[in-house]
């Protein structure tokens, strides 16, 4: 049984927990889901979801909890929106002192689709099916290199990327599947 943590410092935590449970149930995969608030809870996880929210706040709170090194040891991580920013190796528009995990071969531009009022929904075609994606002050993935593989694009830019390297698997998407109850990417993550 996979033990999957949802980082519960900030953002759409309960929504991720429900979509994750729904994805597991629909695909017949047994999981144990835990909301993670302290560094101690990270070491027993097989996988971690970093929800969207605000990457500057996530950075501060993860640092306050001393989590950076422990998170980097987790073998499977799924970051959505701000979570994807945390996973990126290069970030444009970072605040001074903002820290990132730097695990995925992508360069992102924070807030590059515009402010909150420019948030939008779009039908996207992805390597794992067609789905409706909700973008909220999303980052744009400007560049992908190395072992990172694009799973979906919107308006000519990648919006979902996966990377499998040295026995680790990462999934980074710039939209919010937890908001409209979209299970495809959570299911894909569980199978990775
Ligand atoms: N704009 C936010 C950031 O830079 C991300 C927004 C989101 O997660 N919906 O962190």
Closest CA to 49 of 85, 23, 20: 20
Tens-binned pLDDT, residue by residue, of the chain (192 aa): 999 999 999 989 999 999 999 999 999 999 999 999 999 999 999 999 999 999 999 999 999 999 999 999 999 999 999 999 999 999 999 999 999 999 999 999 999 998 888 899 999 999 999 999 999 999 999 999 999 999 999 999 999 999 999 999 999 999 999 999 999 999 999 999
Index of the ligand 1 atom closest to the CA of residue 52: 8
Task: Determine whether the shortest distance from the Cβ of 16 to ligand 1 is under 6 A.
Answer: no
- What token pair was written down for 93? 């528009």
3-state SS, residue 6: strand
The length of the chain is: 192
Q: Distance from the CA of 55 to the center of ligand 1, in angstroms?
A: 6
What is the reported pTM?
0.97
Residues 6+ apart with CB under 8 A from 90: 106, 107, 108, 143
Q: Distance from the CA of 135 to the center of ligand 1, in angstroms?
A: 10
* Alpha-carbon separation of residue 178 from 14, 22, 52, 191 (angstroms): 9, 11, 10, 18
Q: Any idea what DSSP says for residue 139?
A: P
Q: List the 168-173 sheet strands across, edge first.
A: 31-36, 2-7, 47-50, 76-80, 168-173, 157-165, 148-154, 120-126, 129-135
For residue 2, what pLDDT is reported? 96
Whether 16 is catalytic is: no
Q: Distance from the CA of 188 to the center of ligand 1, in angstroms?
A: 23
Q: Distance from the CA of 101 to the center of ligand 1, in angstroms?
A: 15
Cα(70)–Cα(66) distance, rounded to whole angstroms?
8
Index of the ligand 1 atom closest to the CA of residue 136: 9
Domain residue extents for the chain: 2-191
CATH architecture assigned to 2-191: 3-Layer(aba) Sandwich (3.40)
User: What is the greatest pairwise CA distance in the chain?
Assistant: 44
The best mutation among 139, 159, 174, 176 to test binding of ligand 1, ranked by most ligand atoms within 8 Å of the C-beta, falls on 139
For residue 118, what pLDDT is reported? 86
Cα(32)–Cα(29) distance, rounded to whole angstroms?
10
């Amino acid at each position: 049984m996979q033990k999957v943590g949802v980082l519960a410092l900030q953002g759409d935590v309960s929504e991720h927990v429900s979509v994750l449970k729904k994805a597991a149930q629909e695909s017949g995969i047994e999981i144990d889901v835990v909301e993670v608030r302290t560094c101690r809870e990270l070491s027993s996880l097989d996988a971690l979801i970093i929800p969207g929210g605000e990457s500057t706040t996530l950075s501060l709170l993860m640092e306050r909890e001393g989590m950076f090194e422990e998170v980097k040891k987790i073998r499977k991580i799924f970051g959505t929106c701000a979570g994807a920013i945390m996973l990126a190796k290069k970030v444009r528009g970072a605040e001074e002192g903002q820290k990132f995990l730097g695990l995925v071969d992508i360069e992102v531009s924070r807030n590059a689709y515009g402010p909150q009022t420019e948030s939008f929904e779009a039908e996207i075609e992805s390597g794992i099916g067609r789905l409706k994606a909700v973008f909220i002050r999303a980052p744009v993935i400007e560049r992908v290199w190395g072992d990172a593989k694009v799973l979906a694009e919107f308006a000519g830019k990648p919006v979902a990327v996966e990377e499998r390297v040295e026995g680790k698997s990462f999934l980074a998407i710039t939209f919010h599947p937890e908001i409209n109850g979209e299970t495809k990417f959570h299911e894909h993550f569980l199978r990775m």
